[in-house]
A = this chain, B = another copy of it.
Amino acid sequence: MPVNLEVPARETLRPVAGVDIGTAMAGLRKANRRDVLVMRLPPGTAAAGVFTTNRFCAAPVQVCREHLAASGGAIRALLVNTGCANAGTGARGLADARASCDEVARLLGCEPAQVLPFSTGVILEHLPMQRLLAGIETAVTGLGSGDWLDAAQAIMTTDTLPKAASREVDVGGRRVAVTGVAKGAGMIRPNMATMLGCVATDAALPQALLARWVREAADVSFNRVTVDGDTSTNDSFVLLASGASAAVVADDAAPGAAPLKAAIVEVAQQLAQAIVRDGEGATKFIAITVERAASPAEAAAVAYAIAHSPLVKTAFFASDPNLGRILAAIGYAGIADLDVDGIDLYLDDVHVATRGGRHPAYREEDGQRVMKQAEIGIRVVLGRGTAATTVWTCDLSHDYVSINADYRS
């Protein structure tokens, strides 16, 4: 059961001028579900991406990096499949990823290096190429002006709901759309990238600016969520600027640059949080804020130690204010000179711990009240400096075990 997350209403997802979407049911892993997406982009589109830091990165991720470099970001199509990650597949996996780009390029009349491939699903298995190539042809035949909900549905794996978000902003007097989709529910601890996210705008941006914005947006969105601490082999987040709206943003100081960037960050954060809300087996949505850390890295280390602790996560599942487990996680987060006497811990508005121990006024029933909520804030004040960060995560339930024990069956 996703936490406060619904299927986005189709009419709230603004089409992005110039971007066409086509999907197919190719039967890659399961019958009768969309599993192939082709997104066609107009000439003049700029694209930039960030990708997994996992050393076992998937073949499509390697090809994405090559094609972005070779084309200078002048991308004309995305190809996404679900059901097979094409990771841990060696030389044959690379050849398969390249062959699928070749087929998209042939059908759309562009260079193979202008196609970015993305795969998610089971690792260590080869792509069923015949079915995939047939699916590509179907998807290209069906290309129509952008229905982003179709796109969101076509990239789902263990997701229970499609994930999409959209904003409209004014750039130099022109209305510009910012719309994105994402997928992911397990193997989620993006590290410099995310499971699979794509945000597009019809504003025109130079590729260098886009390349910086995609990193900055990832750092405050997809790079701040975790479900199970498992960094995937396939994490990818791309930002696309079709330019079809004729609104131009040349640099950070241009009119409309600030609201456009804010809209991109908002869409990315909404998508990233949607991944956590639909985290495998999630029943709670938990925001962990660490304040007054000595450095951003230290703040993140403490936040992730809490977010990854199976004991903290099962306590949230049980609505059990066994909050000493949070202190234990702070204590093993790797800060060698941490003085626990300077630490305060809050659960929403409830002051739980101070000076290394239980707050004198803390009452179990106050902790219990907050633990029963579907949305919970943990705030840790380290008292060491001025850095802060927020990480979003979910609890660990029986359903997480069921989903991942049954995933391939």
> What is the interface size of chain A, counting residues whose CB is below 8 A from a CB of the partner?
70
B57 touches A405 (CB 8 A): no
- Nearest CB of chain B from residue A126's CB, rounded to whole Å: 8
Instruction: Given A54-B332, A123-B327, verify A405-B92 contact (CB < 8 Å).
Output: no
Among A12-20, A108-116, A210-218, A230-238, the stretch that binds chain B is: A230-238
28 contacts between A and B (CB under 8 A): A53-B332, A54-B328, A54-B332, A55-B330, A55-B331, A55-B335, A55-B338, A55-B340, A56-B330, A57-B331, A85-B324, A88-B324, A88-B356, A90-B356, A123-B324, A126-B358, A186-B311, A187-B325, A229-B308, A229-B310, A230-B310, A230-B328, A230-B329, A311-B404, A314-B401, A317-B401, A318-B405, A397-B401
Task: Pick the most buried of A55, A189, A397, A404: most chain B CB atoms within 10 A of its CB.
Answer: A55
Shortest C-beta distance, A206 to chain B (Å), equals 30
Please, which residue of chain B has its CB at the minimum distance from the CB of A404?
A: B314
A383 to chain B, nearest CB (A): 13
The interface residues of chain B lying within 8 Å CB-to-CB of A398 are: 398, 401-402
A322 to B355, Cβ gap below 8 A?
A: no
> Are the C-beta atoms of A93 and B357 separated by less than 8 Å?
yes
Taking Cβ atoms with an 8 Å cutoff, the residues of A that contact B are 53-57, 85, 87-93, 122-126, 186-187, 189, 191, 228-233, 308-311, 314-315, 317-318, 320, 322-325, 327-332, 335-336, 338, 340-341, 352-353, 355-358, 396-398, 400-402, 404-409
Q: Is the CB of A320 within 8 A of B124?
A: no
Q: How far is the CA of A55 from the CA of B409 in the complex (A)?
A: 43
In the bound assembly, the distance between CA atoms of A341 and B93 in angstroms comes to 13
CB distance from A26 to the nearest CB of B (A): 21
**Which one, B229, B328, B338, contacts A231 given CB within 8 A?**
B328
The residue of chain B having its C-beta at the shortest distance from the C-beta of A311 within the complex is: B230
Chain B neighbourhood of A317, CB < 8 A: 401, 405
A52 CB to closest chain B CB (Å) equals: 8
Residues of B within 8 A of A231 (CB): 328, 331-332
User: Closest Cβ of chain B: how far from A74's Cβ, in Å?
Assistant: 30
CA distance A309 to B189 in the complex (A): 11
Q: How far is the CA of A186 from the CA of B409 in the complex (A)?
A: 29
Chain B residues near A54: list those with CB within 8 A. Answer: 328, 331-332
With contacts A228-B310, A356-B56, A358-B90 taken as known, whether A404 is within 8 angstroms of B315 at the C-beta atoms is: yes
Residue in contact with A407 in the complex, picked from B232, B322, B336, B340, CB distance below 8 Å: B322
